[in-house]
Structure formats: C-alpha cells, structure tokens
C-alpha cells in the first residue's frame, strides 16, 4: 500500500476559552483559516496542491457549523478545487482528521491532504450541539451514561489513584510545559495568530499556570462531587454499571483536568510522489492508525485499547515506542494508561499536556501529533504513539516513525 | 342523544353542562361504559350547532374522575400490539378531537378554524385519566379546597398517563415540574396546580361552575395554547435548547438513581417527555400511545396492577375473612408490653381510632409506650401535619397501666411481651383471668409457634397470632397466623382490627418463621455466604440495590445483628439435635460473633464500620483478612441470580408447603414484608414472568453449582411440565 508521510505540522497557540481569552475576538473561521493558510506559506505551496482538507470539530454548530473546513479552505486562499470535510469523533476528532487524510493518501484517493481541527470553545461552548443521543432516555437507561468528570473519578476510584496522585501528575504537567516553552520546544509548530488589523494577538499558550504546586491544587474543591453525590446523583448511575465500586472518590478538579481553550491545528500529509513533486521533505511516516470503542460509562479508558490495536497492526510492541503522547483530558486517564501499558512517566507527555496548556476539543489530536513529532526530532528518537480518550467510550491512536 | 355515563344540559347561551356520572361506581372512572360513550359525546358536541361550548363537571360528590378502571386495563383483550395500540389511541384521539373541535392542527395554527370552548369544573379529585380529561379541556377551574388531589399516579402501577398527560402537562407546567409530577406520581393540590399553570383558576367551591361557564361564554373561539401561533414550551424544550438538554440528562440520571433502571414505566415516561417535547401535539400523542401500549403489553404493568392494586385492595378490605361472622366493633384494645413492639402496636391502634390500654410490669415501663407516641405526634406537629388539639386527642386514647384489672373491658388483646414461652404463658394466664370470655387474644411473635402458645390459653379457639414488623408504624404488612385450634371468629376479628390500622394482611400457616421469616434469612445467608467465598461486599450490596432491594442484605444483617443469626443457629441446632443440617455458615458466625466481635451495628460493627453515632462509615475492610477477595470476581449478573433465586426458591417452598395458601399472599407478603422489588409484582409473579419452566431450569443450574438450597419443589416441576403458570393472566 502507498505510504503516508507527514510533511509539516502547525498549530495555533491555545487561548483561554473564555470571553477574556486572547483568541475570543477571532472567529472560528478566521482561526482555522490562518492555520490552513500557513500550511501553504510554510511549504511554498500555491494553494492548488492540497486536494482535500479534513478538520475535526466537536461542536459543529453555529459559526462552526456547515462544514467549517470548506469555509476555512476558501478563506485561506486555497484553490476552489480543494475539497473539505468536517469530522467529529469528539476529543479524537483532530487525530481522526489526520488519520482520514492519511487513509486517503494510503488508499490512493489523494496525493496531498491536510488533517487538522478547530475548536473555538470560547465562542461555541461545549454542548452547543445538544448532546444528541446522550440525552435520549432509551440509551441512557441502556448504557448508564455519566458526564466525563464522573468517568474520570470512576477511573481514579477503581484503580486507586488518590487526590495526591492526580495532583502530582498535574503539577508535573505544568512543570514540563513551562520547560518546553522556556526551551522553545514548540517553536517549529507555533503559528502566532493575528487580529483583523494584522497585529499578533497570541503567540503562546496562555492557559498555563507554571506556579502550580501541590498546595495551590490542594485548595481546589473536587468539581464533580455535587453532581455525583447530590443532584442528579450520577455516582449511583456509574455504580449501576460498576457494582464493584463501594464509594466514588472525587479527585478531579479544574487544576488536574484539561483546560477549556481555543485553538486550531493542521498536519500536512502526502505520499512520496507529492513530496517529490512539490519539493517537500518528509518528516515522519504514519506507521499505523486505530480507533476503538470501549465501555462507555467509564468512557475514558479507550486509549490503552486503541494503542494496543495500533501496535498490533504495526507488528510492534510497546517497547518499540520511544515517546508517548496521551491527551491529558484528566490526570487519572494518563495514570491509568501508564499503568495498563506499563509506560514510564519519563516517556509520556514529555512536554506537558492539556492540563497545563488546554484541550481545544476538535483540534487537540492534530496538535499532539505535531508536538510529538517535534519532540522526536528534538530528542533524536524514532517512534512515537499519540492517543486520546474519547467521549462515549472510544479511543484513537496513531503511530509515527521519523524518516531520516 | 342520551347517555348512561353522562348527561347534557344546554343553557340559553348554548353552553352545555356535561355532567359525568358513571353508574354503579362510587367514583367516576374511565370504565368500558364511559370509554364507549365519550367518543359519541365528542361527535355530538362537534356536530350539534345548538351547542356553542361545554363545561365538564362530575355528578359525584367523591370527585371529578379518578382515572382508568384498572380492572379493565388489567383484562385488556387485545391480541396483537397493533390492536393494543388502537385501543390505547382511542381515548387519546378523542380527547384530542374535543380539544381541536375536529379541526386540523394546521388550520387552528393559522387561525382558519377554532374549536368550541370546553372548560372543566373541578370540585374534587382528578387523577390519572381524570386529570388528563381536564387537561384536554381549554380551561380548568378548580375549587379552592386544598385537600383536592390533582395528579397522574399511573407510574405506581407500571403505566404512564396515556391520555395525553405526558404531553399536555409539560406544555403547561414545563418539563421539570411535569417530569417530577409524572415520574413520582404524587398529586398536587389546587394551589400548586395554579402556580404550575395546570389549572387556570382556583375559586370558592360553589363558584366553580359559574366561572367555568363565564370563561366559555367569553371565549367562543378556542384553541389550546399549543395549537396557537407562537407557542413556547415553558422552560424550554428540544435537543438544542440549552435549558432543556441538562434537564433531559439530569432527569434520566435522577430516575436511574431512584429506580435503578428497573421500572419500564419510568423509562417510557422519560422518553415521552423527551421525544414528545420535540414534536407537534398530534404526533407527540401518537408516540405517547405507543409507549403506553408497550407498557400495557409488557409484564410489569400487569404484575404491578395485579399485586399492588387489585390484590392489595382485596387484602386490605379483608379478603379471606370467614363468612357469617358479624363485623366486630373494636373500641378498646389491650396491649400487653410497652417495649418497642408494644409501643408501635399501641401507636397504630390509637392511630386507627381505637382506645388503647397498654400494660407493663410497672408504670414506668408502661409509660414508655406513651412517650413513644408522644414523640411521633410531636414530630408531626412540628412538621405542621397535626394541630395541638389533634395531638392531645390522639394521646388521650392511650392509657398506660400496670394493673391487669384495667383490661377487663377491652374488646381485643394484643400481647407483645418478651419472646419467651414462659413469659408469654404468664401474661396469657393473668390476662384471661380478667378479660371478657368472648375477647380475642392475639399474640405478636416473629418466632414462636402459635399452636404452642395457645396451649397456655383457656380459650384456644379465641387465640391467634399476629406478626407485626418493626418499626410498626412504618411497616405496611401484618402476618396473621391462626393456630391449629384458632376459630373463625379469631381470624375475622384479626382482619377487622387490621382494617382499622390499615395494614396489608396476609394469613399464613403456623410454622417456624411463618412466611416472611422463612424467606428472608436464606437470602441474607446467601449474601453472607458469598462474602465467605470472597465475593466483594460492595458487589453484593450494589447488586442487591440494583435489582430493587431497598437496602443491601449485609446492611440488614448488621441491623438485625449477626448475634441474632448466631443465636437462631444455636437454638435450631439444639432443637433439631441430630437432624440439624449444617448451612455451611457455622464457621462464619462463630468467627464474627465469638472470635472477632463483629456482631452488628448495635455492637459497634459488623459487615460495615460505623462511627460513634451508629452511622455507616463504609464496608469493613478487615473482612479480606479472613476471606480474601476472589480473583476474578463473579459476574454481577450471577450475583444477582443467586440473590434473586434464593428468595424465589424459599417462596416457592413456602407455597409448596402451604405456608401461604395462594400466590397473592406470597407476593403481598414479600413486597410489603421485606421489600421484595415491587416492579416484579412479587416472587410468585416473578416466577410466572420468568416462566415456571425457565425458573425450574435456572434453579437446577444454581443448585448444581451452589448447593441443594436452590432446588425447586416438586410441585413446581410438575407445574413446569404442565406448562402452567400460577396466575391466570400472567
């Protein structure tokens, strides 16, 4: 089968996903199109080379509706012949979009494509798309759905992660992100975002709190205790599905969960021919990709299964992976993955993650793939696996390998 | 046209006063007759040009309309789901026709057509289909009597309001208020109904009809709010409404938490609210009828209607009371013993309107029964549920004494002294020496055989057993146990007394443990046995809760104490001697009670740990030192089967041995005695639902895997072979 290569990866800085966030004044369309335009600019492309653009978006309604990737392609100055698709696999959308682009390349449908994502969470809040079947009683009663925070606390409860465990992980994420920024490790991928008059309004991840320590986190109240224990009482729902749990331990809060931010990212994927044709140098090969479904109440344990599937399909073992990147949706998600896969923390999320820098839902998957590629090059390592936990009980993973 | 169930009186304004008075019923209900005539009335109302509008009113003092005749629903003759739907749709469609005047929703919306106005005059309760009829009117005027109940209680018998209730109520009161009202089934009073927009006016009793007529006269062209342009769902609705989405999700979670997902009706109601709130009325009503049809053709509604309504009502009225015995006039009851049980019995007896003379060995002890009631009544007063006068009148009915002579004029004796044969023998003798010789003597006991106790009586024909449950004022069941020599009058009086204290009685055979204590201990034992096998205690407790038991079996044992379990084991051993069959739990009780002193909550700890106030802290972690957790843990479904079948089998054995003489008593006893899941209709109903053949097969599997205690009785095998069920309409 045709190989798919990564030729470039670019991302916006992450702005706070609130009305005082730096990217709040930029439309989602503008944010996405600045990132898309930079793919052409950075690679000396005219605009008619990329054949298809897949973008993840988790709340594809309002200004993010109506296939925002097609709007962004046009606004970014791509040729009108460039088609676009918007995909939604919740938090895995950005990586799914890259995998889709890669799959199109591998299948021979296209030579050069972009996979990426957009989420302006300050402008189109989470849940704006109405939660669909998650609100339908016929399914809720069948599957015992609970909100993600309850699922994260369920993971911590079942696998015995204490408040200190998750807080310590969060402190480390902040520390690593600060080091990464201090050492300019993201420089290769960051695209400063400009406003209407062309001034840069954000050139760094503004969500970070590098001063975070165990004491400051210790002062925060658990976020999901009220909805779990009192109204409406999601703990009881979770325990119906997991009757081995005696009592839920609520450990997650704003400081050890991913931040709500605005952001966009894009990854340029193509076959060997496209690289030769347009003078692009491949940075990595996409080795394998996988998406799986997992138990939907605990919801966020999918990454281990997705990672294993991706490893199996590549004929690899976990020892073949040099650097791991798992989206820090909640601290317990990463702790559970490291325990289940026997991965050392020193090889996991080495430059911090969404706890420190934020999680722009539809874009994150493409962002962390770019981050891990930069890290492979910086540390001169070979293989990396990126994975995300996904709402509704899913997981997605992509393995890449540097091309020397 | 003339009708049997209603009459029409047209006044000079052309307003028809439609008086509903279903013949032969103390209260108006949707029975076959009214169901048949209502569509004809709607036809006439729409087509008769002399009628300009209508006011619906009840011809009965008992209220407006109390809902559907459950006997009719329970005996639905529909053969196919489609037929059942057509029947369910019948009422819904005709109510809608009255509401639209037979016009299309489109024409109403565009103002091209109008319905003739219909107002409802509510002088008394409107429940279920009664309130739904009112909701289908364009305007509701209700009397200001705060005791009037307006509600949709269908969920309590496994159904949903299938006459538009799940659609009209939320469109008036909003999803949240309507959802609570329909899912809990609790009625509201007129004032609340007005605040929630369920009725339009609350006025003095004798102005209700006039106000209703006045509205009809002033509004010759009517349409329901949802048939008018610009209708907005109060509080929001639909999957894109940020106010409604959390409501849909939250209400499902809340309902799951409370129902554990066991009640089909709760789920169906939520679906009607969710789906219906996104649809125009006509389609929404059709969807409601379809969910209603699903419930009516499933086993839960049938089981719940049968046990919780039909059989419970029959039992409460004294079904099985021997014939030919005149009703007894019980004015004063002598209660012997002012301990926990005696005090509770004293309280419910006084509550039943009878005078009580409560006797104990000295005044100080006897006073305890007075204090017990005083505390309860003071609490009621503090909650605004009783006035001081009411409390005083209540307390005046209770007289403590330590003198047997004070019992000489009582009409019934209920003995509740210490559970020891010699103590009981003594009070029987002393009491019989003073009471009239026609007085019935009832002995409250949970363990001692009545026939044995009756040997101490001079008048064994008048001696009978009553097994009250603790706390007496809360527990709804009464086991009545005739001894070998008990006469018909003893049973009749016991049932008459029960009727006054408003418990649900079952009559059971005089065997050790009677019925409830034959079934519950094996269940608790099974749970404890799983603990010894290394099954996680959380798993056991959670599975029991999720199948609908009100409290986990280990928590119950902690309450009744492991000490009691140990004592019963010891006394059974002694009593049976060489015939004693080990239960396999001997070592466990020896360990918990004798070696490590975990004897139950009262003693500071058992399966659970407790704080100094006796509140649960959590399951006792030290258990795994003695019984390490099994790896892997059993499938929750298997734990459920063991906890469910141990109850089903023990019930089956009781039925087989005639401890309960009919399936109804077993079902009522199980639900109201130890909280067997009501959605099943009781263990015998559950066996029918499972199918006797499937039940026997699964019991055999469990017996093979876990032991003989799961073996079904032979008569059940025969029943299975014959392909029969225990109830006719299973």
| Residues of chain B with C-beta less than 8 angstroms from the C-beta of A246 | 537-538, 541-542, 618-619
pLDDT, tens digit (0-9, with 9 covering 90-100), for A101-128 = 999 999 999 999 999 999 999 999 999 9
Q: CB-CB: which of A138, A146, A240 is closest to B260? A: A240
Distance (Å) from the C-alpha of residue B525 to the closest C-alpha of chain A? 20
Q: What is the pLDDT of residue B77?
A: 67
B581: pLDDT strictly greater than 90: no
pLDDT, tens digit (0-9, with 9 covering 90-100), for A338-371 = 999 999 999 999 999 999 999 999 999 999 999 9
Chain A: which residues have CB within 8 Å of chain B? 61, 127-128, 130-132, 134-138, 140-141, 144-146, 231-234, 236-237, 239-240, 243-247
pLDDT, tens digit (0-9, with 9 covering 90-100), for B218-233 = 999 999 999 999 999 9
Whole-number CA gyration radius for chain B: 29
pLDDT, tens digit (0-9, with 9 covering 90-100), for B334-380 = 999 999 999 999 999 999 999 999 999 999 999 999 999 999 999 99
Q: Tell me what the pLDDT averaged over chain B comes to.
A: 95
B730: pLDDT strictly greater than 50: no
A389: pLDDT strictly greater than 70: yes
A252 catalytic? Reply is no
pLDDT, tens digit (0-9, with 9 covering 90-100), for B72-99 = 876 766 678 888 899 889 999 999 999 9
Residue B704 in tokens: 């093979």
| Residues of chain B with C-beta less than 8 angstroms from the C-beta of A136 | 248, 271, 274
Q: What is the pLDDT of residue B420?
A: 85
B245 vs A131: CB contact, 8 Å cut-off? Answer: yes
Q: CB-CB: which of A237, A244, A246 is closest to B257? A: A237
Distance (Å) from the C-alpha of residue A57 to the closest C-alpha of chain B? 17
Q: Which of residues 615-634 of B touch A (CB under 8 A)?
A: 618-619, 633
Q: Which of A250, A252, A253, A359 is catalytic?
A: A359
Averaged pLDDT for residues A292-316: 98
Q: What is the pLDDT of residue B76?
A: 66
A246 vs B636: CB contact, 8 Å cut-off? Answer: no
A239 vs B633: CB contact, 8 Å cut-off? Answer: no
Distance (Å) from the C-alpha of residue A31 to the closest C-alpha of chain B? 25
| Residues of chain B with C-beta less than 8 angstroms from the C-beta of A245 | 538, 542
| Residues of chain B with C-beta less than 8 angstroms from the C-beta of A141 | 252, 256, 261, 267, 270
Dist. CA B507–CA B489, nearest whole Å: 14
Nearest residue in A to B544, CA atom: A243
| Residues of chain A with C-beta less than 8 angstroms from the C-beta of B253 | 140, 146, 232-234, 237
A57 catalytic? Reply is no
Q: What is the pLDDT of residue B435?
A: 96
Angle, alpha carbons A92-A95-A99 (nearest 5°): 125
Nearest residue in B to A240, CA atom: B546
Question: How far, in whole angstroms, is CA A140 from its chain's centroid?
Answer: 26
Percentage, residues of chain A above pLDDT 90: 98
Q: Which domains does chain B have, with CATH numbers?
A: 6-297 (3.90.226.10), 332-507 (3.40.50.720), 516-658+660-730 (1.10.1040.50)
Kindly provide the residue ranges of all beta strands, DSSP E only, lying in B131-258, ordered along the sequence.
Answer: 139-143, 150-151, 201-203
A245 vs B239: CB contact, 8 Å cut-off? Answer: no
Distance (Å) from the C-alpha of residue B545 to the closest C-alpha of chain A? 9
Averaged pLDDT for residues A135-159: 97
A239 vs B542: CB contact, 8 Å cut-off? Answer: yes
- B326 Cβ contact list (under 8 Å, min separation 6): none
| Residues of chain A with C-beta less than 8 angstroms from the C-beta of B634 | none
Dist. CA B678–CA B663, nearest whole Å: 15
Question: Is pLDDT larger for residue B371 or for residue A404?
Answer: B371
A389 catalytic? Reply is yes
Beta strand pairing call for B412-415 and B332-336: parallel
Instruction: Assess contact for A267 and A370: CB atoms under 8 A.
Output: yes
- Which residues is B542 bridged to in the sheet? none
| Residues of chain A with C-beta less than 8 angstroms from the C-beta of B620 | none
pLDDT confidence band for B18 (50 / 70 / 90) = very high
Distance (Å) from the C-alpha of residue B692 to the closest C-alpha of chain A? 27
Distance (Å) from the C-alpha of residue A347 to the closest C-alpha of chain B? 32
Distance (Å) from the C-alpha of residue A83 to the closest C-alpha of chain B? 29
Angle, alpha carbons B270-B271-B277 (nearest 5°): 95
A243 vs B538: CB contact, 8 Å cut-off? Answer: yes
| Residues of chain B with C-beta less than 8 angstroms from the C-beta of A145 | 249, 252
Q: CB-CB: which of A136, A237, A245 is closest to B538? A: A245
Averaged pLDDT for residues B199-211: 98
Q: CB-CB: which of B248, B618, B633 is closest to A247? A: B618
pLDDT, tens digit (0-9, with 9 covering 90-100), for A208-233 = 999 999 999 999 999 999 999 998 99
Question: Which spans in A11-160 are helix H?
Answer: 28-43, 68-75, 93-106, 137-143, 148-159
Instruction: Assess contact for B53 and B14: CB atoms under 8 A.
Output: yes
Assess B180–A contact: CB distance below 8 Å, yes or no.
no
Dist. CA A220–CA A252, nearest whole Å: 9
pLDDT, tens digit (0-9, with 9 covering 90-100), for B399-416 = 999 999 999 999 999 999
A131 vs B271: CB contact, 8 Å cut-off? Answer: no
Averaged pLDDT for residues B529-556: 97
Question: Is pLDDT larger for residue B449 or for residue A155?
Answer: A155
Distance (Å) from the C-alpha of residue B371 to the closest C-alpha of chain A? 35
Distance (Å) from the C-alpha of residue A128 to the closest C-alpha of chain B? 7
B267 vs A132: CB contact, 8 Å cut-off? Answer: no
Q: Which of A57, A91, A250, A252 is catalytic?
A: A91
Other CB atoms within 10 Å distance of the CB of residue B111: 11
Count of CB pairs separated by less than 8 Å, A with B:
89
Q: CB-CB: which of B261, B619, B636 is closest to A243? A: B636
Averaged pLDDT for residues B89-113: 96
pLDDT confidence band for B118 (50 / 70 / 90) = very high
Q: How far is CA A79 from CA A48, A110, B331, in A?
A: 5, 16, 97
Closest CA to B440 of B355, B339, B333: B333
Beta strand pairing call for B608-610 and A200-202: unpaired
Beta strand pairing call for B398-401 and B355-359: parallel
Which site among A127, A243, A246, A392 would you substitute to test the B interface, given the most B Cβ atoms closer than 10 Å to its Cβ? A243
Q: Which of residues 516-545 of B touch A (CB under 8 A)?
A: 536-539, 541-543
Residue B411 in tokens: 């009409």
pLDDT, tens digit (0-9, with 9 covering 90-100), for B647-661 = 999 999 999 999 999
Which site among B236, B249, B266 would you substitute to test the A interface, given the most A Cβ atoms closer than 10 Å to its Cβ? B249
In which residue are the tokens 């990737």 written? Answer: A69
B728: pLDDT strictly greater than 90: no
Averaged pLDDT for residues B47-51: 96
pLDDT, tens digit (0-9, with 9 covering 90-100), for B707-720 = 999 999 999 999 99
Closest CA to A14 of A342, A264, A241, A198: A264
Assess B261–A contact: CB distance below 8 Å, yes or no.
yes
Which site among A133, A139, A140, A242 would you substitute to test the B interface, given the most B Cβ atoms closer than 10 Å to its Cβ? A140
pLDDT confidence band for B729 (50 / 70 / 90) = low
| pTM across the whole model | 0.94
Q: CB-CB: which of B256, B537, B538 is closest to A240? A: B256
Percentage, residues of chain B above pLDDT 70: 99
- B499 Cβ contact list (under 8 Å, min separation 6): B316, B317, B318
pLDDT, tens digit (0-9, with 9 covering 90-100), for B452-497 = 999 999 999 999 999 999 999 999 999 999 999 999 999 999 999 9
A130 vs B239: CB contact, 8 Å cut-off? Answer: yes
Nearest residue in A to B271, CA atom: A137
């Amino acid at each position: 089968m045709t190989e798919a290569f990564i030729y470039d990866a670019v991302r916006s800085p992450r702005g706070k996903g609130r009305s005082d966030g730096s990217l709040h004044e930029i439309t989602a369309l503008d944010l996405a199109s600045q990132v898309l335009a930079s793919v052409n600019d950075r690679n000396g492309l005219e605009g008619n080379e990329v054949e298809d653009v897949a973008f993840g978006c988790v709340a594809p309604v309002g200004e993010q509706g109506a296939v925002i990737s097609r709007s962004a392609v046009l606004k970014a100055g791509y040729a009108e012949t460039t088609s676009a698709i918007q995909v939604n696999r919740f938090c895995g959308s950005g990586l799914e979009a890259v995998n889709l682009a890669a799959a199109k390349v591998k299948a021979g449908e296209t030579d050069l494509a972009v996979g990426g994502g957009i989420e302006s969470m300050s402008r189109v809040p989470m849940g704006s798309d109405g939660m669909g079947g998650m609100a339908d009683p016929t399914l809720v009663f069948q599957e015992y759905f609970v909100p993600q925070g309850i699922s994260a606390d369920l993971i911590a409860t079942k696998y015995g992660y204490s408040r200190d465990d998750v807080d310590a992980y969060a402190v480390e994420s902040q520390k690593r992100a600060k080091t990464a920024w201090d050492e300019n490790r993201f420089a290769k991928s960051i695209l400063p975002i400009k406003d209407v008059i062309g001034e840069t309004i954000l050139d760094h991840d503004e969500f970070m709190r590098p001063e975070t320590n165990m004491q400051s986190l210790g002062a925060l109240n658990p976020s999901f205790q009220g909805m779990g224990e009192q109204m409406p009482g999601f703990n009881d729902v979770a325990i119906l599905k997991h009757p081995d749990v005696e009592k839920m331990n609520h450990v997650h809060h704003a400081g050890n969960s991913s931040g709500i931010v605005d952001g966009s990212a894009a990854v340029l994927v193509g076959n060997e021919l496209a690289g030769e044709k347009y003078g692009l140098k491949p940075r990595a090969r996409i080795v394998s990709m996988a998406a799986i479904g997992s138990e939907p109440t605990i919801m966020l344990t999918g990454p281990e299964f997705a990672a294993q599937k991706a490893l199996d399909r590549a004929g690899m073992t976990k020892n073949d992976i040099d650097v791991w990147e798992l989206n820090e949706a909640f601290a317990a998600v990463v702790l559970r993955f490291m325990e289940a896969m026997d991965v050392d923390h020193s090889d996991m999320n080495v430059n911090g993650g969404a706890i420190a820098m934020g999680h722009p839902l539809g874009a994150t998957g493409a962002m962390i793939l770019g981050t891990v590629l930069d890290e492979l090059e910086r540390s001169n390592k070979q293989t990396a696996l990126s994975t995300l936990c996904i709402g509704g009980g899913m997981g997605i993973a992509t393995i890449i390998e540097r091309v020397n | 046209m003339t009708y049997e169930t209603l009459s029409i009186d047209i006044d000079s304004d052309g307003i028809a006063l439609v008086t509903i008075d279903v013949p032969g019923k103390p209260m108006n209900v949707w029975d076959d007759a009214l169901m048949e005539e209502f569509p004809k009335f709607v036809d006439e109302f729409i087509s008769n040009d002399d009628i300009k509008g209508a006011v619906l009113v009840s011809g009965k003092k008992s209220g407006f309309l109390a809902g559907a005749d459950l006997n009719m629903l329970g005996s639905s003759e529909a053969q196919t789901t489609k037929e059942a739907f057509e029947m369910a749709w019948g009422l819904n469609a005709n109510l809608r026709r009255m509401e639209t005047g037979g016009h299309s929703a489109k024409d109403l919306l565009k103002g091209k057509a109008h319905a003739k106005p219909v107002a409802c005059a509510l002088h008394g309760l409107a429940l279920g289909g009664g309130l739904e009829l009112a909701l289908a009117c364009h305007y509701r005027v209700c009397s200001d009597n705060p005791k009037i109940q307006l509600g949709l209680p269908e969920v309590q018998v496994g159904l949903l309001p299938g006459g538009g209730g799940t659609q009209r109520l939320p469109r008036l009161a909003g999803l949240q208020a309507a959802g609570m009202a329909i899912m809990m089934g609790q009625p509201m009073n007129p004032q609340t109904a007005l605040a929630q927009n369920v009725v339009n006016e609350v006025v003095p009793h004798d102005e209700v009809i006039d106000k209703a007529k006045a509205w009809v006269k002033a509004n010759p062209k009517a349409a329901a709010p949802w048939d008018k342009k610009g209708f907005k769902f109060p509080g929001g609705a639909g999957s894109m409404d940020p106010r409604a989405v959390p409501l849909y999700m939250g209400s499902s979670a809340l309902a799951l938490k409370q129902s554990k997902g066991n009640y089909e009706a709760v789920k169906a109601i939520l679906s009607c609210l969710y789906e219906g709130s996104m649809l125009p009325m006509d389609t929404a009503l059709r969807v409601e009828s379809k969910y209603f049809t699903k419930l009516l053709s499933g086993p839960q509604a049938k089981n719940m209607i049968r046990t919780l309504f039909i059989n419970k009502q029959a039992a409460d009225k004294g079904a099985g009371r021997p014939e030919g015995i005149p009703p007894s006039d019980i004015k004063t009851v002598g209660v012997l013993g002012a301990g926990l049980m005696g005090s509770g019995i004293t309280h419910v007896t006084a509550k039943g309107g009878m005078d009580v003379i409560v006797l104990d060995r000295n005044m100080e002890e006897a006073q305890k029964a007075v204090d017990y009631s005083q505390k309860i009544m003071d609490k009621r007063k503090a909650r605004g549920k009783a006035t001081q006068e009411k409390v005083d009148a209540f307390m005046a009915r209770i007289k403590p004494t330590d003198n047997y002579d004070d019992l000489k004029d009582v009409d019934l004796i209920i003995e509740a002294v210490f559970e020891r044969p010699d103590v009981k023998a003594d009070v029987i003798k002393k009491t019989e020496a003073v009471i009239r010789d026609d007085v019935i003597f009832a002995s409250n006991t949970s363990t001692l055989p009545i026939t044995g106790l009756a040997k101490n009586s001079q008048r064994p024909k008048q001696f009978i057993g009553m097994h009250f449950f603790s706390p007496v004022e809360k527990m709804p069941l009464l086991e009545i146990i005739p001894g070998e020599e008990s006469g018909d009058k003893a049973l009749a009086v016991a049932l008459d007394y029960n009727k006054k204290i408003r418990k649900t009685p079952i009559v059971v055979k005089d065997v050790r443990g009677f019925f409830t204590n034959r079934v519950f201990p094996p269940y608790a034992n099974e749970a404890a046995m799983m603990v010894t096998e290394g099954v996680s205690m959380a798993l056991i407790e959670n599975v029991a809760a999720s199948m609908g038991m009100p409290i986990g079996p280990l928590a119950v044992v902690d309450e009744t104490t492991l000490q009691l379990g140990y004592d019963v084991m010891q006394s059974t051993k002694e009593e049976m001697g060489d015939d004693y069959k080990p239960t396999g739990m001997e070592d466990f009780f020896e360990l918990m009670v004798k070696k490590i002193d975990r004897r139950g909550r009262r003693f500071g700890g058992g399966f659970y740990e407790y704080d100094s106030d006796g509140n649960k802290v959590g399951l006792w972690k030290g258990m795994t030192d003695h019984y390490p957790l099994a790896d892997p843990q059993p499938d929750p479904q298997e734990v459920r089967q063991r906890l469910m079948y141990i109850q089903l089998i023990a019930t089956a054995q009781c039925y087989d041995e005639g401890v309960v003489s009919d399936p109804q008593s077993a079902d009522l006893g199980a639900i109201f005695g130890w909280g067997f899941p009501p959605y099943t209709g009781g263990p015998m109903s559950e066996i029918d639902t499972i199918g006797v053949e499937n039940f026997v097969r699964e019991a055999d599997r469990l017996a093979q895997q876990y032991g003989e205690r799961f073996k079904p009785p032979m008569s059940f095998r025969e029943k299975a072979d014959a392909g029969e069920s225990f109830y006719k309409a299973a």
